[in-house]
A and B are shown apart, each in its own frame.
Chain A
Amino acid sequence: MDLWYILFNTLVYGGLAFVFATFYAYSKIQHLGIGAIMMFCGYIIYHMSVYGLTWQTFLLAVGIIVSYIAVTYLLIHYFPDEKTRDLLSIVFTLGISLLLDNVIAFIYWPSSIGIEGVEIWVVPLLLIFVLCNIVVLYLFGSSMFGKVMKGVHEQHHVIGSLWISVPRLQYRTFFFLFFVLALLAWLVLVETQMRATDSFFYLIKGIGIAILVWFWQKQWIFIWALAYVVLEYIMFVTRWLPIVYKETLILLLVLLVLLWKPQWLFSWNKRSV
């Protein structure tokens, strides 16, 4: 069994699932643009590794960070009605994904890029995986921060009445999520190759795993990502089924969840057994 493949994909898919689930948890925004943002960050990092910090790279980096926060701000503050925000976030972030994918292709062509000379092998990947689990388990399981954020999600008016600045907590979390996306992009660049046209497939994997984890159990996201990647490895990488169809697995799982237990999606109530 190829441990490198399993650990690498677990970290990437689990990371995207974590970002997507956390975004939805604290803002009711279904950010379908996180795949494209990750790719855009990757291309900026690649450009910096090849050409250094030029003014174009600096402007692009500032631009993506500012627009990321601006989009979040617009969606949260201009659309307080959650039902409206639910649907607008799909349309709006799909537009963002379309824009960023084509900007990358316009500048760089849909060619593959990667950073040579840096490799992270199995043991460091394993340590990163363990660290990610500890962080999410602590952050969302037992820490005061996790409890407050859970309160922000479920009863943000109550949290606000405790003189805790909910927007400040939200935006700190969103900055952290952007940092996670940039880290994932760097990981993809050094371990394998990145291509802008793959952004939507990465996104679907992340959404699928977030759905499987029932969104509210973010502390188990990387464990479930590991389980999914192992299943994908057994079914497709070992050539039991054609590997080109491996993205189909997560899509079929999402459909099964929708048909069987749709309340898993975006639900804040624990599933009744």
Chain B
Amino acid sequence: MWWTHLTYFILMRTTMNIQFLFHMISLWCIFYILTTWARIFLNLRWSIDFSYLGIVIFGAYAWALCNTQWGRGIFASVAFAFVLSLVFTFVVLYLSTKLEWLYFTIGTLTLYMLLYQLSYNAESLTGWAFGLTWMTRELWRWLTLASPLQFLLFALSCALLVVCCLMYFKKTYVYKVLQWWGERHMVIKSLWTSVSRYKLLMICITTFLAVLGGNLYSFFIQFIDPNSFWLPMLVLLLVLLFWWYKLSEFWTLCFCLLVVWLYEYLRFFKVVDASQIGYFREIVFAILILMSSFWIFKRQKQGVRWF
């Protein structure tokens, strides 16, 4: 049938292009880290926090600034961004103690927009709307990743490390308490257990993952501008689609691979003109978000609990 021929053609085209494979797998690792933090947060917090999207982009800008302005490597920029992001997340923690449900979501959306504003207008730092470029893939001082293969190995190592740490973390008592807190927080409170301590731990973990994902993103593409603010929004909105189904790690990896494949295919194989590929990609993902968010909530209406 025609669609099998088309599928075969597309698969052959992508697997025979080594550069495409390198880019796709590298971005797959980064995307997996980004979706993981969103899933953890949604699982444990049961609400949408847009401020974390800002932390992802802050991490990306931190790497660009550390490299272009101060000549530092990615390890230094992750540490720098993590420390500054913790301050920001303490503000979010304060908001979360005062606000619930929709008010919290609106508040975090406002914080996200504040960061977006700063990225546009802090010209001396962020390069205004033109963004920052001319970064080198420097790990630590003289240690630089010169080839796509080296970056691929580095990205795979990061993703593998995250997977192993999460698998271990899920077996710990702390994770179980956090999960109970997400679902039965009143029970936890009634046991005279301080919920704030666990909130702080959760925020530190998710902040680190968000910062790491953002750093790796700009480390990978070697460019960052305010338009990148849409990427973590896409990640969050797409995660909502599959979070509801409580996917295992394996299916999450498959989902990330599918999304990244589509993302890179549209860019590599010039489905539309190169200058418009970014917009076309966003259109495809926006349609996907609209269809899937409607269906998720429709199924929720049929009696399956989401909140």
Q: How large is the interface on B (under 10, 10 to 19, 20 to 34, 35 or more residues)?
A: 35 or more
Tell me, yes or no, whether B117 is within 8 Å of chain A by CB.
Answer: yes
- Collect the chain A residues with CB atoms within 8 Å of residue B120's CB: 244
- Collect the chain B residues with CB atoms within 8 Å of residue A204's CB: 110, 113
Tell me, yes or no, whether B168 is within 8 Å of chain A by CB.
Answer: no
> How many CB-defined contacts (below 8 Å) exist between A and B?
109
Using A78-B301, A106-B276 as known contacts, say yes or no to A87 and B107 having CB atoms under 8 A apart.
no
Using A102-B286, A245-B121 as known contacts, say yes or no to A90 and B48 having CB atoms under 8 A apart.
yes
* Identity of the chain A residue whose Cβ is nearest the Cβ of B98 in the assembled complex: A259
Q: Are B282 and A98 interface neighbours, CB within 8 A?
A: yes
Tell me, yes or no, whether A193 is within 8 Å of chain B by CB.
Answer: no
Tell me, yes or no, whether B163 is within 8 Å of chain A by CB.
Answer: no
Q: Are B48 and A79 interface neighbours, CB within 8 A?
A: no
A49 to B287, CA, bound (A): 29
Most chain B beta-carbon contacts within 10 A, residue among A74, A79, A106, A266? A106
B276 → chain A, closest Cβ, in Å?
A: 5
A96 to B289, CA, bound (A): 9
Q: Are A102 and B110 interface neighbours, CB within 8 A?
A: no
Q: Are A105 and B279 interface neighbours, CB within 8 A?
A: yes
Using A87-B48, A255-B110 as known contacts, say yes or no to A102 and B283 having CB atoms under 8 A apart.
yes
A216 to B106, CA, bound (A): 18
Of residues 2 to 40 in A, which have CB atoms within 8 Å of B's CB atoms?
none
Q: Are B114 and A98 interface neighbours, CB within 8 A?
A: no
A83 → chain B, closest Cβ, in Å?
A: 8
Stretch from B202-210, B258-266, B292-300 forming part of the interface with A: B292-300
- Collect the chain A residues with CB atoms within 8 Å of residue B123's CB: 244
Ordered by A's residue number, 19 sampled pairs between the chains whose C-beta atoms are within 8 Å are A83-B307, A87-B307, A91-B293, A92-B294, A95-B237, A96-B290, A99-B282, A99-B286, A101-B282, A102-B286, A200-B113, A244-B123, A247-B117, A248-B114, A251-B113, A251-B117, A252-B114, A262-B103, A265-B102
Q: A83-B307, A245-B117 are in contact. List 20 more A-B contacts (CB 8 A).
A: A84-B301, A86-B102, A87-B105, A88-B293, A90-B102, A91-B293, A94-B237, A95-B286, A95-B289, A95-B293, A96-B290, A99-B287, A102-B283, A106-B280, A244-B123, A247-B113, A251-B117, A254-B106, A255-B107, A258-B110
State the 8 A-B residue pairs at the shortest beta-carbon distance, nearest first: A99-B286, A106-B279, A102-B282, A95-B289, A244-B121, A98-B286, A88-B297, A102-B279
Interface residues of A (CB under 8 A from B): 74, 78-79, 81, 83-84, 86-88, 90-92, 94-96, 98-99, 101-103, 105-106, 200, 204, 242, 244-245, 247-248, 251-252, 254-255, 258-259, 262, 265-266
